[in-house]
């Protein structure tokens, strides 16, 4: 019998694109139902003397014509039968009710002028009501029968993954409906789990709801052979979300989630919106919500320059700045290919398409005095975000000359031009590696901080200092992903190593906020949350990838690398700002004349191209710089 049904479905659906029944077929079937329902209604009312009924059968055309018109107007035949839902039923109800209303009202009107015509042209009121009810019920049953039949035949996908939905509220219910209607879905829902104890033991469409104590156990997972858990509570707290993800990982389940409510399409979830949990979901914190008034005041209708614009931090600053309506945004970087890609992105971003005349892309190096002066003369920026820098610790240990030239004297050049051309605010992006530096890169950033903080002019210099950002170029997360994709091993320099982490958008929004509240000479540090052990990070990424066989190995600390990062030096303190996530660092201040003298000596050392002389002078400027590099550590003696 089942084979016959499959052959019938293939005959009906298989000849048409995407297995979709033509619209005119649906309309034809609906009209057959209307006609048959009319005959049935007559038979029910005139059963005793059906053959002798005085009704004129030549008038049977009227009701089908009226219903056809309402169907055409309402387009009841447009829906795909296999996806029939409440909206389709509502459309049918409105169409049929409109037809019935027209028939009754028109009969009442005609009867006022010609009772005989009304009697001959229209059936009795009760007949029309019977017909209306039969038509509506049969059409609804027909749609849901075809939907059920189609799903049973075409959803027979092998190797379905037994799925546990966490959340039996609106998110879970909508998700269940999406998966049940998607013929290509590989998820087979076995159960719900919900934190609300009142829901435990109840059902949603015959699927039982369990409490976490019952469902989130190895015994339950084994009993129902669960492969996947989908987190379907969009409004859940960040803390609870992490707990559930950790539980799922501990049970060796594939963990997925649905998007927030504002990402749903017309109140529905699409199957392709069900995403894998990423390590960022476990490391990220509760989203920081910032007021926009300060940033709007500083950026709206102003010329903004962003150096290092093609980098992970610089590019995100540019994206956020564009939302605050600058009169012009100058994006500057030396990296040609990344800059080309970024230009393409910005020019084709929907929100920025009408703002192309407000964007300028410049290729140059911040250590080039001629070209940088030309940029300032051409655009006269009012706000500068200086993100350009070399940041890879091992590389800079081997290239101290270039690190100092770009990170120190490149910053000095941009800062001097900012003062000369009357820039209102200069915001420098620093790093936590500038605190008690153990490497060349961190020391160069600290020296750049010292220079900008010592400048006293109409230009307000502000420094922002934070740790690692998730997903930034060269960060550990993309590195681990690549290693996992290649089958391992995952390399960690030291089992004890820890780092602070922050998302790129979060870090950049804090940079904009800090820049707007700074009054000059400020160094702001951000609340970086809890430190993360890199070894634990590697283990979690391995679990999320479901590749427990991949080995994690220690490779030893690289030259200049710290076991842990700090946000403040030993002698530094902080005071609170109006934003609890931004703190004002109280640091040692330098006189401009002293800084200039130190920079002259550093420049002399730079001209020798001798790494030892360069680093030696850096240690004079930053006495707390104690190198972890065996080559430079002898200078500490």
Put residue 230 in one of left, alpha, beta given phi > 0 → left and psi -120 to 50 → alpha: beta
How far apart are alpha carbons 260 and 203 in whole angstroms? Answer: 24
Give the integer Cα–Cα distance in Å for 257 and 232: 6
Q: Determine the distance from the C-alpha atom of residue 164 to the mean position of all C-alpha atoms in its chain, rounded to a whole number.
A: 23
Give strand ranges (E) for 431-503. 460-465, 468-470, 490-492, 498-499, 501-503
Give the burial string for 318-354 (b: 16+ CB within 10 Å, else e): bbbbbebebebbbbbbbbeebbeebbeebeeeeebee
The SS3 assignment for 276 reads: strand
Among left, alpha and beta (phi > 0; psi -120 to 50; other), residue 554 is beta
Backbone angles phi, psi at 231, to 5 degrees: -80, 110
Is there a contact between 564 and 498 (Cβ–Cβ < 8 Å)? yes
Instruction: Using DSSP, state whether 201 is helix, strand or coil.
Output: coil
Alpha helices in 54-169 (DSSP H): 62-74, 86-113, 115-121, 125-154
CA distance 174 to 178: 6
Q: β-strands 328-333, 254-257: how paired?
A: unpaired
Burial pattern 193-222, b for ≥16 Cβ within 10 A else e, equals bbbeeebbeeebeeeebbebeebbeeebbe
C-alpha 543/C-alpha 617 separation (Å) is 47
CA distances from 67 to 93, 191, 619 (A): 12, 43, 90
Helix, coil or strand: residue 285: coil
The DSSP result for 212-245, as a single string, is: HHHHSSHHHHHHHT--EEEE--TT--HHHHHHHH
Phi, psi at 566, each rounded to 5° = -125, 155
Q: Work out whether strand 383-386 and strand 425-429 pair parallel, antiparallel, or are unpaired.
A: parallel
Catalytic residue annotation:
433
Tell me if 524 sits within 8 A of 584, measured CB to CB: yes
Specify the length of the chain in residues.
Answer: 637
DSSP letter for each residue of 446-464:
HHHHHHHHH--SSSEEEEE
Q: Is 581 helix (H, G, I), strand (E, B) or coil?
A: coil
Reference 526, options 577, 478, 489, 487; nearest CA is 577
Q: What share of the chain is helix, strand, coil (3-state, %, to 5)?
A: 55, 15, 30
| SS3 call for 363 | strand
Contact 464, 430 (CB under 8 A): yes
């Amino acid at each position: 019998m089942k084979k016959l049904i499959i052959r019938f479905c293939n005959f009906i659906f298989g000849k048409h694109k995407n297995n979709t029944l033509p619209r005119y077929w649906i309309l034809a079937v609906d009209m057959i139902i209307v006609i048959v329902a009319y005959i049935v209604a007559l038979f029910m009312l005139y059963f005793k003397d059906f053959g002798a009924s005085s009704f004129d059968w030549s008038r049977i055309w009227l009701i089908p014509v009226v219903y056809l018109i309402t169907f055409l107007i309402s387009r009841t035949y447009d829906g795909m039968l296999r996806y029939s839902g409440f909206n389709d039923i509502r459309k049918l109800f409105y169409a049929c009710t409109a037809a019935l209303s027209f028939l009754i009202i028109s009969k009442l009107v005609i009867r006022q002028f010609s009772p005989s015509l009304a009697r001959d042209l229209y059936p009795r009121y009760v007949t029309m009501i019977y017909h209306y009810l039969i038509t509506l019920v049969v059409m609804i049953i027909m749609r849901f029968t075809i939907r059920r039949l189609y799903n049973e035949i075409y959803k027979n996908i092998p190797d379905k993954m037994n799925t546990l939905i966490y959340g039996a509220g609106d998110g879970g219910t909508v998700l269940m409906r999406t998966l049940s209607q998607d013929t290509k879905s590989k998820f087979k829902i076995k159960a719900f789990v919900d934190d609300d104890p009142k829901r435990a033991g109840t059902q949603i469409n015959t699927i039982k709801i369990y409490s976490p104590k019952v469902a989130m156990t190895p015994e339950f997972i084994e009993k129902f052979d669960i492969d996947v858990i989908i987190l379907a509570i969009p409004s859940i707290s960040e803390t609870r979300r992490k707990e559930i993800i950790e539980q799922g990982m501990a049970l060796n389940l594939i963990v997925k989630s649905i998007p927030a409510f504002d990402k749903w399409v017309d109140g529905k979830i699409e199957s392709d919106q069900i995403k894998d949990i990423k390590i960022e979901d476990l490391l990220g914190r509760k989203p920081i919500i910032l007021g926009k008034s300060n940033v709007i005041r500083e950026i709206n209708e102003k010329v903004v320059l962003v150096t290092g614009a093609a980098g992970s931090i610089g590019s995100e600053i540019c994206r956020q700045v564009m939302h605050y309506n600058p009169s012009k945004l100058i994006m500057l970087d030396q990296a040609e290919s990344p800059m080309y890609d970024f230009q393409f992105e910005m020019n084709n971003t929907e929100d920025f398409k009408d703002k192309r005349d407000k964007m300028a892309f410049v290729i140059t190096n911040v250590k080039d005095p001629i070209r940088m002066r030309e940029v300032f003369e051409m655009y006269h920026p009012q706000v500068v975000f200086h993100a350009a820098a070399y940041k890879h610790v091992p590389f800079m240990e081997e290239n101290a000359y270039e690190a100092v030239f770009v990170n120190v004297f490149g910053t000095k050049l941009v800062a001097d031009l900012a003062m000369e051309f009357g820039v209102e605010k200069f915001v420098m992006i620093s790093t936590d590696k500038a605190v008690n530096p153990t490497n060349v890169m961190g020391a160069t950033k600290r020296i750049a901080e010292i220079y900008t903080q010592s400048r006293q002019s109409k230009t307000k210099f502000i420094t922002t200092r934070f740790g690692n950002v998730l997903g930034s170029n060269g960060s550990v997360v993309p590195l681990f992903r690549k290693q996992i994709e290649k089958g391992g091993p995952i390399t960690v320099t030291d089992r004890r190593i820890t780092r602070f982490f922050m998302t790129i958008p979060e870090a950049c929004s804090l940079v904009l906020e800090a820049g707007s509240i700074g009054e000059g000479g400020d160094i702001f540090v951000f609340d970086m949350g809890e430190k993360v052990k890199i070894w634990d990070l590697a283990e979690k990424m391995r679990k999320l990838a479901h590749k427990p066989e991949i080995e994690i190995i220690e490779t030893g600390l690289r030259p200049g690398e710290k076991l842990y990062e700090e946000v403040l030096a030993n002698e530094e303190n902080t005071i609170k700002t109006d934003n609890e996530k931004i703190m004002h660092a109280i640091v040692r201040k330098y006189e401009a004349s002293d800084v200039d003298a130190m920079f002259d000596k550093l420049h002399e050392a730079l001209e020798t191209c001798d790494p030892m002389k360069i680093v030696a002078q850096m240690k004079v400027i930053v006495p707390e710089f104690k190198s972890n590099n065996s080559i430079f550590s002898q200078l500490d003696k």
